[in-house]
Amino acid sequence: MLGLAGLTALAVAAPAPAAAAPRSGVVDLTHTLTPQLPVWPGNPPMVMVPVAWHESGGFGQFALGYWEHTGTHLDAPAHRIPGATTTDALAVDDLVAPLVVIDISAEAAADADAVVTVADIDNWRSRHGEIPERAFVAMYSGWEHRLDRPSTFLNLDERGTPHAPGFSAEAARYLVEHCAIVGAGVDTLSLDCGADPEYGAHTALLGAGRYGVEMLANLAAVPAAGATVVIGAPKHAGGTGGPCRVLALT
Amino acid sequence: MLGLAGLTALAVAAPAPAAAAPRSGVVDLTHTLTPQLPVWPGNPPMVMVPVAWHESGGFGQFALGYWEHTGTHLDAPAHRIPGATTTDALAVDDLVAPLVVIDISAEAAADADAVVTVADIDNWRSRHGEIPERAFVAMYSGWEHRLDRPSTFLNLDERGTPHAPGFSAEAARYLVEHCAIVGAGVDTLSLDCGADPEYGAHTALLGAGRYGVEMLANLAAVPAAGATVVIGAPKHAGGTGGPCRVLALT
C-alpha cells in the first residue's frame, strides 16, 4: 500500500535523524543551470539558443548545448574508466537511496584543501549509527556560499590548480569496500579535493562501478541521516554523465 | 523516521493497487535518449560529440546538443504560454506525486487518434476510487511498442499530420478544474492527440500552470493506482522543458 514498500526497505537501516532536522517534504539539492555557473577549468559554459517561438506556431523551445559535467551533474563510471558503465546503464534501483551527509564545513572554512577522511566517517557513525546499506554519501563543505563570487568557487591558485574540498582517496576506498554505498556526492566541482593530481577518489568510486554527483546544492537543509535521495540521472546512450535533478525526501 | 513523512502524506489518498501489480521497487519510466528516437516533425535528433578522452587527461566526456522537447521530456508551462513558469521555477513539491495511470491501449490499438476522455477518468475512478490530490495522471496507450519501427510512432499521414493518442482537451480541462493534479503525462510525443490542430490539452494543462511529460516509457509495468512518481525535471534557467528522468516508486 502507498507505493512505498521499496523505499521503506531501502531506508529501514537508517537511524532517526537529529530531532531538530527540518521537515519540508521534498528538498531540492540541484543548482539552477545557467551559463554563469562555474565549470571545471577548460570546460565551456552551457548555451541556450531559441529555436521556436510562441508567435509562430504557438510553442516556445530552446536548443541546449553543454559538456556533460556541467552544473549539478552525474559522473558515471565511464567518465573515469574506459568501457565502464555509462549513463544509460546505471541500475535504476541505485538511483533511490538513503542519504548520508558528512559535514566538513568547519574544516573547509579553515582549509580549502580539506577532505572527508575515514575519521569523519567514523565520527558520523558515532553520532548516527551504521552507514545504511546502499546509501548515497554526500560531503557538505558549505562551498556553495562561494557562488556569489564564482572565481572563489573554483578557487584556482597562480598555477591554475583548483583548491576545493572533496573525498580523500582513502575515505572513498573505505566507503566502497566497507559500506556498500551506491554512490557519493560533493557540493564542489570534484569528488576529489581539487588539489589531488591523482584523482584518487574518482578512481576508487567510479573504478568500483559506483556513481558520483558533483556540485550538489542545499545540503544544509537536509538531516545528516534519515532522508532518502532520488537521483534524476541523465539517460543518454553511452554517456559519461550529465546534469541531473537531485531531490531529497525528508 | 525513515525520511518518508512527506511522501506518505502525498500518497495517503491513493487506494491499494490491484493485487496483481508488479512490485519491483523502482520502475524506470524513461526512454534511453539516442539520435534514433523519434522527434516531433521538424525537430532534429540529439547529438553527442566527444570532447575529452581517457588517453589524454584520464577522463572521458561528451558535449550534448538537443532541442528541449526530445526523448522522455518535460513540458513547462512556458512551452505553451509566453511568460509562464519555466523549468527552473517549477515547485519542487510538485515533482513527487501519486501516480495515476489511465489505460486506453485497447482503444489506441483500434484508433490512432484515440484520446483519454472524461469517461475514461470516471472509469478509472469506479475501479480505483477518487483521483488523489496533487496526482500526476499518465495516459498509457501502448504506443512504445511502435518504436521498433520509428515511423509508426510518429505516424504521419500523407499531409504530414501525426496520428497518435493523447488527452482530449475536455479531459485535460476536467483534470485541472476538478482533480487538483500537478501534471499529466503521455507515452506518445504530444499531450494532445496528434491530429488536434488546436493543441487543446496543452493549453488546458500548461495554461493552468501544470506541467506535462511526454514520451513516458514502461507504464505497463506500474499499477494503475498506488505508485509514487518522481519527475527528475531539468532545471536550466528560463527553459521551456527538457529531457527528464522519471522514476516510479512501487
pLDDT tens-digit map of A121-144: 999 999 999 999 999 999 999 999
DSSP string covering B160-218: S-B---EE-HHHHHHHHHHS--SEEEESSS-SB-TT-TT-HHHHHHHHTT-EEEES---
Interface confidence, given as ipTM, is: 0.91
Q: Are B40 and B186 in contact (CB under 8 A)?
A: no
- Which one of B7, B51, B92 has the shortest CB-CB distance to A67? B51
Q: Is domain B5-14+23-249 in CATH 3.20.20.70, yes or no?
A: no
Q: Which residue ranges make up each domain of chain A? A: 5-13+23-40+67-249
Label residue A24 by pLDDT band (50, 70, 90): low
Does the CB of A129 have a partner CB in chain B at under 8 Å? no
pLDDT digits (tens, 9 = 90+) for B191-215: 999 778 899 999 999 999 999 999 9
- Give every CB contact of residue B14 below 8 A, 6+ residues apart in sequence: A2, A3, B98, B132, B135, B225, B226
Does the pLDDT at position A13 exceed 90? no
Q: Are B89 and B217 in contact (CB under 8 A)?
A: no
Cβ distance B232 to A227 less than 8 Å, yes or no, reads: no
pLDDT digits (tens, 9 = 90+) for B15-69: 333 343 434 599 999 999 999 999 999 999 999 999 999 999 899 999 999 999 9
Cβ distance B242 to A64 less than 8 Å, yes or no, reads: yes
- Interface A–B counts its CB contacts (< 8 A) at 262
Does the CB of B85 have a partner CB in chain A at under 8 Å? no
Does the CB of A70 have a partner CB in chain B at under 8 Å? no
Average pLDDT, chain A: 91
**What pLDDT shows up at residue B172?**
98
Catalytic one of B31, B79, B128, B202: B79
Does the pLDDT at position A21 exceed 60? no
**Domain range A5-13+23-40+67-249, CATH class:** alpha beta
B79 noted as active-site residue: yes
Label residue B222 by pLDDT band (50, 70, 90): very high
pLDDT digits (tens, 9 = 90+) for B73-95: 999 999 999 999 999 999 999 99
Buried b (16+ CB within 10 A) or exposed e, A157-172: eeeeebbbbbbbbebb
DSSP string covering B16-48: PPPTT----SEEE--PPB-TTS---TTPPPPEE
Q: Which residues of B touch A81 (CB under 8 A)?
A: 54
**What pLDDT shows up at residue A224?**
98
Cβ distance B230 to A230 less than 8 Å, yes or no, reads: yes
**What pLDDT shows up at residue A195?**
77
Average pLDDT, chain B: 91
pLDDT digits (tens, 9 = 90+) for A60-101: 999 999 999 999 999 999 999 999 999 999 999 999 999 999
Cβ distance A32 to B8 less than 8 Å, yes or no, reads: no
Does the pLDDT at position B8 exceed 70? no
Does the CB of A7 have a partner CB in chain B at under 8 Å? yes
Catalytic one of A69, A79, A128, A202: A79
